[in-house]
Amino acid sequence: MDVNSFYEVVHRRRDVRGEFTGGVVSPEVLRRILSAAHAAPSVGLSQPWDFVLIRDVGIRTAFRDHVQAEREVFAGQLDEERSRIFARIKVEGVLESSLGIVVTYDPQRGSPAVLGRHAIADAGLYSVCLAIQNLWLAATTEGLGVGWVSFYREEFLRDLLGIPRQIRPVAWLCLGPVRTLHTTPDLERHGWRDRIPLAQVMHEERFGRPAQH
């Protein structure tokens, strides 16, 4: 494997909102991407994820409307300056993307004896996030974009998709071909927040002691 091509994909990956073309994602490509997601590590090999593919425009429109309402809820919590910046930021591409993939977490899968989860219940959720990251990187490798949407109430999405009560919808992922992938995150481009230098989050021996190298 070419080491550089891996890092190139890691750094090329972007969260996409406004650049979807709505073009076709072939079944073969979709299968490869989902296989990559399904190959993720998981606590106790619980594989607690499911992937719900959503192409139906009625369902997508209902979700988009809900996301817009939640966007207003968030906007209502901002001061004037943040409000002005936030107004320019798109937070979803639900209808512009080719399809939605809702990734869910089933805490019952593999239970009661999930090896490695007895002390950290969240390890199940971490596993789902790793599947999502695999999916994201695979999609980037395939030349597609992904946008993670979290402006929703779990209860709403459960009802919309008939997800059982014990299962948590972790993400709505917008997927599809894109016009371009920007080199910097949208939030950085719009002045919402910058990437923190690596050195600032590296510690040595004790938390809070800066790393030397």
Ligand X SMILES: Cc1cc2nc3c(=O)[nH]c(=O)nc-3n(C[C@H](O)[C@H](O)[C@H](O)COP(=O)(O)O)c2cc1C
Which chain residues interact with ligand X by CB under 6 A?
14-15, 17, 91-92, 148-151, 185, 187
What single DSSP character describes residue 201? G
Q: How far is the CB of 86 from ligand X (least distance, A)?
A: 11
Q: How far is the CB of 92 from ligand X (least distance, A)?
A: 6
Q: How far is the CB of 185 from ligand X (least distance, A)?
A: 3
Query: Which one, 10 or 45, has the nearer CB to ligand X?
Result: 10
Left, alpha or beta for 52 (phi > 0: left; psi -120 to 50: alpha)?
beta
Helix (H) or strand (E) holding 161: helix 154-161
Burial of residue 29 (number of CB atoms within 10 Å: 0-12, 13-18, 19+):
middle
Residue of 39, 77, 70, 33 whose CA lies nearest to 53 = 33
Within 10 Å of residue 213's Cβ, how many Cβ atoms?
5
Query: Which one, 15 or 106, has the nearer CB to ligand X?
Result: 15
Q: How far is the CB of 44 from ligand X (least distance, A)?
A: 23
Query: Which one, 92 or 96, has the nearer CB to ligand X?
Result: 92
Query: Which one, 31 or 189, has the nearer CB to ligand X?
Result: 189
